[in-house]
């Protein structure tokens, strides 16, 4: 859908900022970029709140003046992009924003049929919102996106595991751990998936890596549920190969021995 008579605007905020009008890249100055990005993230916003968010170092009157000038510059360069409704500013409803599409995809991960997002787990893993931007509101959105990525990838891992696709479950869990190595829900899915595939050694490596980093960074041990999962997996192997036992490495498995040839 176009923006009245001004063509179709497409805004990218993932990996880098880019605006296109009818398919052609539009070069926009940094100050205008920040306003457009903020409206894409927040939706319709009061002018005074936008001014304080974008120019927090300025007094209120100077921040509002900076906003007024920026709005004028955007309106002059890109007519039809902004909607001005008294004290409210917003982007035209027809602007296509990649962040909005990504949010919808991540949200769908927990719904029936949501595994469509699993087609490219690496792409989901590597999502970045405006890298190199360090304003507080950008950092907040980066954290929010990271949380949504972890949730989506972990839900995918659980969904795959429930259907017996343990290879895909392990891949989804590993993608989540690439984002946050101390996310225990993903560790549990990874360990369980490796065990289900008969990969005891890989499960133990994943557990020990998590255990050591958790202890080093947080000074705590993994949960009892995760420890139990590992100990139950090792126990049958230990009973069946007593002559090949060696002490476990690290302290994460307590006194439970590991197989010499796992």
User: Which residues, 6 or more positions from 78, have their beta carbon under 8 angstroms from its beta carbon?
Assistant: 6, 9, 19, 21, 26, 28
Q: What pLDDT, in 10s, does the model give residues 154-204?
A: 999 998 898 899 998 999 999 999 999 999 999 999 999 999 999 999 999
pLDDT for the residue numbered 86: 92
pLDDT range class, residue 250, cuts 50, 70, 90: very low
> Is position 1 within any domain?
no
Residues 28 and 115 in one domain: no
Q: Which residues pair with 26 in a beta bridge?
A: 19
> Is position 251 within any domain?
yes
CA separation, residue 113 to residues 108, 109, 160, 191 (Å): 8, 8, 12, 25
2 closest CA partner among 79, 57, 113, 75? 79
Residues 15 and 86 in one domain: yes
Distance CA 68, CA 108 (A): 38
Residues 91 and 167 in one domain: no
Residues 133 and 173 in one domain: yes
Average of per-residue pLDDT values in the chain: 86
Q: What pLDDT, in 10s, does the model give residues 206-232?
A: 999 999 999 999 999 999 999 999 998
Residues 253 and 190 in one domain: yes
Residues 13 and 117 in one domain: no
Residues 254 and 167 in one domain: yes
> DSSP secondary structure string, the chain?
---TTS--EEEE-BSS-EEEETTEEE---HHHHHHHHHHHHH-SEEHHHHHHHH-TTS-HHHHHHHHHHHHHHHHHHSTTSEEEETTEEEE-TT-EEHHHHHHHHHHHTTSTTGGGGGGGHHHHHT--BSTT---HHHHHHHHHHHHHHHHHHHHHHHHHHHTT-HHHHHHHHHHHHHH-TT-HHHHHHHHHHHHHTT-HHHHHHHHHHHHHHHHHHHS-PPPHHHHHHHHHHHHHHHHH-GGGEEPPSSSTTTT--EETT-
Q: Which of 33, 68, 96 is the last residue of a domain?
A: 96
CB 14 within 8 A of CB 99: yes
Of 114 and 29, more confident: 29
> Is position 3 within any domain?
no
User: Which residues, 6 or more positions from 69, have their beta carbon under 8 angstroms from its beta carbon?
Assistant: none
CB 10 within 8 A of CB 19: yes
Residues 77 and 108 in one domain: no
Q: Which of 67, 96, 125 is the last residue of a domain?
A: 96
pLDDT range class, residue 69, cuts 50, 70, 90: very high
Query: Containing domain of residue 20, as a range?
Result: 9-96
Q: What pLDDT, in 10s, does the model give residues 79-94?
A: 999 999 999 999 999 9
The conformational region for residue 246 under phi > 0 = left, psi -120 to 50 = alpha, else beta, is beta
Q: What pLDDT, in 10s, does the model give residues 3-14?
A: 557 789 999 999
- Name the domain count of the chain: 2
How much is the average pLDDT of 18-32? 96
Residues 134 and 235 in one domain: yes
Residues 134 and 87 in one domain: no
Q: Is the pLDDT of residue 235 over 70?
A: yes
Please state the pTM of the whole predicted model: 0.80
pLDDT for the residue numbered 244: 44
pLDDT for the residue numbered 112: 65
Of 117 and 72, more confident: 72
Residues 81 and 192 in one domain: no
Q: Is the pLDDT of residue 251 over 90?
A: no
> Is position 240 within any domain?
yes
The residue behind tokens 């041990």 is: 221
User: What percentage of the chain reaches a pLDDT higher than 70?
Assistant: 84
Q: Which of 40, 73, 96 is the last residue of a domain?
A: 96
C-alpha of 190 from chain center: 18
Residues 241 and 146 in one domain: yes
């Amino acid at each position: 859908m176009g923006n009245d008579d001004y063509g179709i605007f497409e805004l990218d905020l993932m990996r880098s900022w880019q605006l296109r009008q009818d398919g052609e890249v539009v070069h926009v100055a940094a100050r205008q970029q920040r306003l457009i990005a903020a409206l894409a993230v927040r939706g319709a916003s009061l002018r005074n709140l936008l001014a304080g968010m974008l120019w927090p170092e300025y007094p209120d009157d100077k921040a509002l003046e900076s906003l007024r000038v920026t709005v004028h510059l955007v309106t002059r360069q890109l007519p039809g992009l902004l909607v001005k409704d008294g004290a409210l500013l917003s982007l035209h409803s027809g602007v296509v924003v990649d962040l909005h599409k990504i949010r919808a995809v991540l949200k769908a991960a927990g719904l029936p049929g949501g595994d469509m997002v699993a087609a490219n787990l690496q792409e989901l893993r590597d999502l970045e919102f405006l890298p190199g931007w360090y304003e507080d509101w950008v950092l907040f959105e980066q954290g929010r996106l990271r949380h949504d990525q972890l949730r989506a990838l972990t839900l995918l891992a659980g969904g795959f595991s429930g259907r017996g696709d343990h290879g895909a479950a392990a891949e989804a869990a590993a993608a989540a751990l690439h984002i946050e190595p101390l996310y225990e829900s993903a560790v549990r899915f990874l360990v369980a998936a490796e065990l289900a595939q008969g990969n005891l050694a890989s499960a133990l490596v994943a557990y020990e890596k998590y255990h050591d980093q958790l202890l080093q960074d947080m000074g705590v041990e993994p949960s009892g549920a995760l420890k139990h999962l590992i100990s139950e997996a090792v126990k049958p192997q230990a009973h069946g190969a007593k002559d090949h036992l060696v002490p476990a490495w690290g302290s994460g498995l307590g006194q439970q021995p590991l197989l010499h040839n796992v």
